[in-house]
Amino acid sequence: MELASLLQYLISGLTNGAIYALIALGFVIIYHATTIINFAQGEMVMLGALCAISIYHHYPSLPVAFVGGVVLVTIVGILFERLALRPVRDPNPLTLIIITVGGAVFLKGVAMILWGKEAYSLPSFSGDTPFHLGGATLLPQNLWVMGLTALVLLALESFFRLTLTGKAMRACAYNPRAARLVGISQSRMVLLSFALAAALGAGAGILIAPLTLGVYDMGTMVGLKGFCAAILGGLGSSFGGVLGGLILGVAESLATGLISSGYRDAVAFFILLLVLFIRPQGLIRGGS
Amino acid sequence: MRSRGIAVILVFLMGVLLLAAGCAKGPETEPYVVGGIFSITGPASYLGEPERNTMEMLAASINAAGGIKGHPLKVVIYDDEGDVTKARLHAEKLLTKDGAISIIGPSLTHTSMTVLDITQKAKLPLISCAAGVGITAPADKRQWVFKTAQTDQMAVSRIYQYLQKQGTTKVAILTVSTGFGVSGKGQLISQAPQYGIQVVAQEVFGEKDTDMTPQLTKIRGTDAQVVICWGTGPAPALVAKNMKQLGLTLTLIQSHGAASQKFIELAGDAGEGILLPAGKLAVYTQLPDTDPQKAVCKAYADQYQAKFKKPVSSFGGYAYDALNMLTKVLNQSGKDKEKIRSGLEGIKNYVGVSGVFNMSPEDHNGLTPAAFVMVKIDKGQFKLVD
Amino acid sequence: MNPRQFLNPWVLFGAAVLLTAAALHNDYYLTLINFIGIHTLLVVGLNLLMGYAGQISLGHAAFFGLGAYTSGILTATYGVDPWLAMLAGMLVCGLTAFLIGVPALKLRGYYLAMATLGFGIILYIVFNEAESWTGGPSGLTGIPDLSLFGFKLDTPKRLFLLIWPVLGGIMALSANLVDSRTGRALRALHEGEAAAQSLGVNTSRLKLMIFVWSALYASLAGSLYAHTLNFIAAASFGFMFSIKLVTMVVLGGMASIWGSFLGAAVLTVLPEMLTMFHDYEVIIFGVILMVVMIFLPRGLVRGIMDLWEFRRYKKEGGIIG
């Protein structure tokens, strides 16, 4: 029984961790290209979930809802970069933090008007019959979340390391001036990174909607945890971000199960402080 | 030089504020002004929105019927977003700027606590729509405060009465970390011995948490016969889903916070068989015709659904009862605040949506556990069981 | 007294406070102004840290809450004298700031932002979960009124007469600090840490000192807040409030004591004015945040001054240097 419980905590932790990881990847991508932290990333998750749910209500096909949600949110991400970040005159971190927080507040408000304050559900991708695994159970949706996270990580890593565009994006973060000198259009890279991050966030939102339901204020906490994960992983590395997410998820789940459920959210931030104070460069050194 | 410029701006701003304050003291207005403070946005919007809707709807129909003693009824409603600072400011505004003769709300226990502090000082009747027992107790310190929401104390008694009948002795509780959950947890623990019930596990979860499998896994390791979940919003539905995922077959009992059609929709298949205490509004069609509340609930539900095209919620019912009782008292005694207070205190056998109210100087809520019925979710519908 | 002296901002400030006390009797406006005062106190402290020392804090609401809860718990639960409790609050806050500041201030930029954010959220969770002390989410009731020389400060007017003179004193103190040797060292620090070090400034000690200093202001503001409301609940000390404080600093203008007042006033009054927009209030707030930051990144006052100067230069055909 004790072992089965432990396994259950692990499964629950890995699923949540994979979600944090997906969101952390969004932070990492934007940071890669711009060294901006986009506090509105969590809202992309929310928008993805709610858009997909709305599409599903009109046209009940999950693949259509998934693609439609991702496309819509990607457009939002592009608009956000063009309208709110491009015109900034004085791009220091503080200004950018406040603008993205303002963007998050704005998007949340719009979602509240469009969808109201109720939660909505989305059916699971492949049913709700749980698998049994050594006394523990897991849903097909858990596997979807973990599997897709792994896939996205692989795709991203190869994009950054193998393609020209990916390398150009990394160059922009490393040294914008030098990147410009060799003919990389920085503004295109920034736009691309926001579009990519928004798409990822939306995908994460749609993936978790069957497990967590979709509601207009779901983005904030999930965004912060994702950010925690990104920092844990050293901000610059996608692999680090995923590792950070998984560590956070498992630690939270174990703390809930073995210590106390009241301080669950504090665990993530406590680990964050510990890592920052002891090893401020993150668990894995940034990719740049 | 620059700081002097700023100082001049500062003094100018103060002047503007003063002028605005001067203008605010207009002539005595004709209508009866009743204030409303609800959490219309923010985390508790599921409470505030139906409350606001109900209050506006009811005021419109009162005015259509000629108002109160020939005076039109004017409702001024503010949104506190669940924030105590805002609630306090709105209460001050209603008191001194809008000239309210009485305030309905706030929606939450903590916002009510901060508002009642000044309405008490100002001797203004306040009818809270929040659940906390501490709002109207101790009675001698809360002379000007009333409330129409059933307290968690009653919901817990109702659940335990039912469990005692079923012969259940061991329960696990899972409560949300908000005022609602904390207060429910306190009642669940303190009342258990009276009914011969033992609380074998106490777990909590956050309002916005989306995965409760760790807590439930922990509960699985105990010998609990029943899980009681105390929460509001989407989280209780997720508890139901997580239990199904874990293959946990224990009976799940939810609080009255889950007594909405929305809960059934969110929980889906996992909702089947869940028991919960609910106000009679949730199952009014199944009540016997002899039940006096049946007609009141039907009238409210029909009017609300016709106007807002949304299912009626028992939270809106709190505002419905509050404004109706207030109107009744105003019709009898006019706008004198002391008369309103004593009028409210003297209400007996008032049949409302949330129960039958019997106010007294010792009890400014006036409801009993009988305000709740036990219902079961059966094929996507609430079914009256006890 | 010559006219120049008469235009001294401090004299004007005092006159404005007295005038307000004499002429304003509406409790709603007085309460609003009291909250503006409390917020200004917080923002002045945060501005010392952000504007002058160049360090960001996204967890300042935690110090505000720590002050409020220390005052609240000591007076309501243990019956300690409110003024003594206020001092205890500052002691607790100062000590916490010191302990957190030592490791945290070694970090820079986003890392420092994240550390303070994490600290803020952890404390918020503690306020929420430690029910037996803090009353948890339902709040802590029964916080007594302050009294001064036998006068109970139980009306908004009386509280106004405490909060605003205290604020005036704190603002004067801060202005002095900024103009002192320490202030010059601070500005050197803001311009560049390495440069400041090379000038013989002990930067880490200086940063820590300002961090503790701003926590003390926040604690004082928290205590005043607790005694103004006579009730506190954890929801007031969350992440969004920290963000709001930072926004007040930036809106008013970094490194400007008077600007702090303006930022606090605008962001306290604005939501009150936006209530008529009901659900759209949040959206408008978000848009304002973004628009101000995009077009007036140096804050309202200086932003408007810049625009004005820009126009004047254009009119006179001058070139902006």
* pLDDT tens column, C214-247: 999 999 999 999 999 999 999 899 988 998 899 8
Average pLDDT over residues C283-292: 85
Name the domain count of chain A. 1
Assign residue B273 a region: left if phi > 0, alpha if psi is -120 to 50, beta otherwise?
left
Q: Which of B51, B84, B187 to mutate to test the interface with C (most CBs of C within 10 A)?
A: B84
Q: Which of A221, A264, A269 to mutate to test the interface with B (most CBs of B within 10 A)?
A: A264
Q: Of A15-24, B144-153, C119-128, C303-312, which range is least confident? A: C303-312
Q: Are A109 and C297 a contacting pair at CB < 8 A? A: no
Residues of B in contact with A110 (CB under 8 A): none
Instruction: Delineate the domains of chain B, giving CATH numbers in brackets.
Output: 32-150+296-367 (3.40.50.2300), 152-286+372-384 (3.40.50.2300)
Judged by DSSP in three states, B102 sits in strand
Distance CA A245, CA A27 (A): 12
Cβ contacts of residue A89 below 8 Å, gap of 6+? C294, C295, C297
**Which pLDDT does position B217 carry in this prediction?**
92
**Which pLDDT does position C3 carry in this prediction?**
54
Beta-strand ranges (E) seen in A122-267 are 131-133, 136-138
**Which pLDDT does position B26 carry in this prediction?**
43
pLDDT tens digits for range A86-109? 888 777 777 888 899 899 999 999
What is the distance in angstroms between the Cα of C114 and the nearest Cα belonging to chain B?
A: 21
The tokens describing B53, both together, are 């809707």
Is the model's pLDDT at B19 over the cut of 70?
Answer: no
Q: Are C231 and B132 a contacting pair at CB < 8 A? A: no
What is the distance in angstroms between the Cα of A269 and the nearest Cα belonging to chain C?
A: 5
Interface contacts (A, C; CB < 8 Å): 125
**Mind giving me the DSSP string for B201-255?**
EEEEE-TT----HHHHHHHHTS--SEEEEE--TTHHHHHHHHHHHHT--SEEEE-
Q: Are B177 and A262 a contacting pair at CB < 8 A? A: yes
Nearest residue, CB atoms, B214 vs list A2, A218, A253: A253
Q: Are B41 and A117 a contacting pair at CB < 8 A? A: yes
Average pLDDT over residues B333-356: 93
Nearest residue, CB atoms, A213 vs list B206, B214, B266: B266
- Name the β-bridge partners of B357: B350
Is the model's pLDDT at B225 over the cut of 90?
Answer: yes
Q: Are B41 and C281 a contacting pair at CB < 8 A? A: yes
Range of the domain at A269: 2-117+132-278
Block residue for tokens 């003291």: B25
Is the model's pLDDT at B17 over the cut of 60?
Answer: no
Nearest residue, CB atoms, C282 vs list A87, A108, A273: A108
What is the distance in angstroms between the Cα of B84 and the nearest Cα belonging to chain C?
A: 7
* Nearest Cα to Cα of residue C60 among C74, C47, C51: C47
Q: Which of B38, B217, B218 to mutate to test the interface with A (most CBs of A within 10 A)?
A: B217
Examine residue B138 and say whether the peptide bond preceding it is cis (omega within 30 degrees of 0).
Answer: yes
- Name the β-bridge partners of A136: A133
Block residue for tokens 């996992």: B270
- Pairing relation of β-strands B226-230 and B251-254? parallel
What is the distance in angstroms between the Cα of A12 and the nearest Cα belonging to chain B?
A: 7
Interface contacts (B, C; CB < 8 Å): 139
Distance CA B381, CA B265 (A): 10
For residue A126, being part of any structural domain is answered with: no
Is the model's pLDDT at B11 over the cut of 70?
Answer: no
Pair B262, B283: CB distance under 8 Å: no
For residue A234, being part of any structural domain is answered with: yes
Judged by DSSP in three states, B336 sits in coil
Q: Which residue has the higher pLDDT, B321 or A231?
A: B321
Pair A135, A3: CB distance under 8 Å: yes
pLDDT tens digits for range B172-184? 999 998 888 888 9
Residues of B in contact with C61 (CB under 8 A): none
CB atoms within 10 A of CB C136: 25
Q: Which of B11, B13, B14, B142 to mutate to test the interface with C (most CBs of C within 10 A)?
A: B14
**Which pLDDT does position A181 carry in this prediction?**
86
Distance CA A282, CA A238 (A): 12
Q: Are B218 and A257 a contacting pair at CB < 8 A? A: yes
Q: Are B20 and C20 a contacting pair at CB < 8 A? A: no
* Residues of B within an 8 Å Cβ radius of A: 41, 43, 45-46, 49, 177, 203-206, 208-211, 213-215, 217-218, 220-221, 233-234, 237-238, 244-247, 262, 265-266, 268-269
Distance CA C114, CA C118 (A): 6
CA angle A98, A102, A103 (to 5 degrees): 120
Average pLDDT over residues C289-296: 85
What is the distance in angstroms between the Cα of B92 and the nearest Cα belonging to chain C?
A: 5
A84: domain CATH number is 1.10.3470
The CA-based dihedral angle spanning residues A243, A246, A247, A248, taken in that order and rounded to the nearest 10 degrees:
120
**Which pLDDT does position B7 carry in this prediction?**
57
What is the distance in angstroms between the Cα of A164 and the nearest Cα belonging to chain C?
A: 29
Rounded to the nearest 5 percent, the helix, strand and coil shares of chain A are: 75, 5, 20
Distance CA B122, CA C297 (A): 44
For residue A79, being part of any structural domain is answered with: yes
- Name the β-bridge partners of C232: C140
* Residues of A within an 8 Å Cβ radius of B: 1-2, 5, 8-9, 11-13, 15-16, 112, 117-121, 128, 130, 132, 137-139, 208, 211-213, 215, 217-218, 221, 253-254, 256-257, 261-262, 264-265
For residue A288, being part of any structural domain is answered with: no
Is the model's pLDDT at A188 over the cut of 60?
Answer: yes
Judged by DSSP in three states, A38 sits in coil
Is the model's pLDDT at B46 over the cut of 90?
Answer: no
Q: Which amino acid is at B21?
A: A
Pair A105, A219: CB distance under 8 Å: no
Q: Which of B245, B261, B310 to mutate to test the interface with A (most CBs of A within 10 A)?
A: B245
**Which pLDDT does position B10 carry in this prediction?**
58
Q: Which residue has the higher pLDDT, B349 or A2?
A: B349
Average pLDDT over residues B225-235: 92
The CA-based dihedral angle spanning residues A95, A99, A101, A106, taken in that order and rounded to the nearest 10 degrees:
160
Average pLDDT over residues C207-216: 95
Q: What is the DSSP letter of C151?
A: E
Pair C222, C134: CB distance under 8 Å: no
The tokens describing C83, both together, are 């003024």
Average pLDDT over residues B102-119: 92
Distance CA B207, CA C178 (A): 44
For residue A26, being part of any structural domain is answered with: yes
Distance CA B104, CA C288 (A): 32
Distance CA B15, CA C172 (A): 22
Nearest residue, CB atoms, C137 vs list B89, B97, B110: B110
Average pLDDT over residues B36-52: 88
Q: Are C29 and B114 a contacting pair at CB < 8 A? A: no
For residue A154, being part of any structural domain is answered with: yes
Nearest residue, CB atoms, B217 vs list A8, A221, A264: A8
Q: How many angstroms separate the Cα of C297 from the Cα of each of A90, B166, C243, C250?
A: 7, 66, 16, 7
The kind and range of the H/E element at B173 are strand B170-176
Pair B152, B187: CB distance under 8 Å: yes
Q: CB distance from A102 to chain C under 8 Å?
A: yes
Q: How many angstroms separate the Cα of B169 from the Cα of each of B166, B277, C157, C161?
A: 9, 19, 56, 59
Residues of C in contact with A113 (CB under 8 A): 279-280, 283
* Nearest Cα to Cα of residue B228 among B211, B252, B198: B252
Pair B292, B356: CB distance under 8 Å: yes
Q: Are A212 and B238 a contacting pair at CB < 8 A? A: yes
Residues of B in contact with A264 (CB under 8 A): 205-206, 209
Pair C38, C228: CB distance under 8 Å: yes
**Which pLDDT does position C115 carry in this prediction?**
92
Nearest residue, CB atoms, C230 vs list B2, B6, B117: B117
Distance CA B60, CA A196 (A): 50
Is the model's pLDDT at C60 over the cut of 80?
Answer: yes
Is the model's pLDDT at C91 over the cut of 90?
Answer: yes
Average pLDDT over residues B156-176: 95
Residues of C in contact with B92 (CB under 8 A): 27-28, 31-32, 156
Distance CA C267, CA C279 (A): 18
Distance CA C158, CA C142 (A): 19
Pair A237, A28: CB distance under 8 Å: yes
The CA-based dihedral angle spanning residues B166, B172, B176, B179, taken in that order and rounded to the nearest 10 degrees:
70
What is the distance in angstroms between the Cα of A132 and the nearest Cα belonging to chain B?
A: 9
Contact partners for chain C, using 3 or more CB pairs closer than 8 A, are A, B
Distance CA A201, CA A26 (A): 6
Residue of A nearest to C248 (CA): A98
pLDDT tens digits for range C186-201? 888 877 788 888 878 8
- Pairing relation of β-strands B73-79 and B32-38? parallel
Average pLDDT over residues A231-238: 83
For residue A284, being part of any structural domain is answered with: no
Cβ contacts of residue C235 below 8 Å, gap of 6+? B82, B83, B84, B110, C137
For residue A287, being part of any structural domain is answered with: no
pLDDT tens digits for range A43-82? 999 999 999 999 999 999 999 999 999 999 999 999 999 9
CA angle B58, B286, B283 (to 5 degrees): 50
Q: Are C26 and B82 a contacting pair at CB < 8 A? A: no
pLDDT tens digits for range C173-184? 999 998 888 888
